[in-house]
Amino acid sequence: MAHAGSNSRPETRSTSETTTACTILELVFQKRFNGSEGFHRKFSDYENGFGSVYAEHGLGLKYIYEMTSRGSYQLRSNGSKGNDVYGDFSLQPGTNYTLNVGSRVRSNGLLSTHSFSDVDYAPVGNAFSTYDPDVDRASWSNGAAEWEGGWWYNACYYYINLNGLYQPGQLDGRAMNYDSHYGIAASTMMFKILYTSEQGCYPVYSRLEINQLSGAIEVDLR
């Protein structure tokens, strides 16, 4: 069985954005749909990756950082109720994997007031926090321990806690939620990546670079 962050094949999805020279793929880095994998975990798990890429998983923050460290990427977040797309997605260098994300560029089925980037307590600009270590902005509490997840917590969070407890339909601030405090049944987070063909196109990553990145990630681009 392949595990995220260790000789795995991250899920990729082709989009309609193709040319004769290159193809845009969406690389999935978080996927949840049945509660089989716990997401209230230590920091090293989130950094290195956990779970199976064929089931629920987190790809690994260090790999997401490496793959978004050059080029321009969009973040797509899907929940049970709808989805959002944001521009300028990346993680900052350093051990905290601080979230960079631009404004929402497209939304379907979600309230405009609940956003990764445009509201108070949004994830943007925050370090990734777990119960060990606690690096959120709240000096009075450990947000990851209180909300039982690992996330880009601000002093708290505002209706986006996609690594919370798997409790579909339950009104609980600790639940995996998006757009409300009711738990949702499924979540997928991904970013767009450019596959460069032999014909050219200004490269972001070549097939070889994707397959050999850190010697750990193999992306099936057949």
**What is the per-residue pLDDT for 1?**
35
Considering the domain boundaries, does residue 5 fall inside one? no
Which of 45, 69, 15 is CA-nearest to residue 190?
Answer: 15
Cβ burial 82-91 (10 Å sphere, 16+ → b, else e): eebbbebbbb
Which domain, by its residues, includes 162? Answer: 12-215
Global pTM? 0.81
Considering the domain boundaries, does residue 163 fall inside one? yes
Check: CB of residue 125 under 8 Å from CB of residue 81. Answer: no
Select the more confidently predicted residue: 12 or 87.
87
Considering the domain boundaries, does residue 6 fall inside one? no
Total domain count, the chain: 1
Considering the domain boundaries, does residue 32 fall inside one? yes
Reduced to 3 states (helix: H, G, I; strand: E, B; else coil), residue 75 is strand
User: In this structure, are strands 83-86 and 90-91 parallel, antiparallel, or unpaired?
Assistant: unpaired
Provide the percentage of residues in the chain whose pLDDT is more than 70.
75
**What are the tens digits of pLDDT across the range 166-215?**
999 999 999 999 988 899 999 999 998 755 555 445 445 554 555 544 34
**What are the tens digits of pLDDT across the range 102-145?**
989 889 988 767 788 877 788 999 999 999 988 887 878 888 88
Give residue 49's Cα distance to chain centre: 12
| CATH number of the domain within which 115 lies | 3.90.215.10
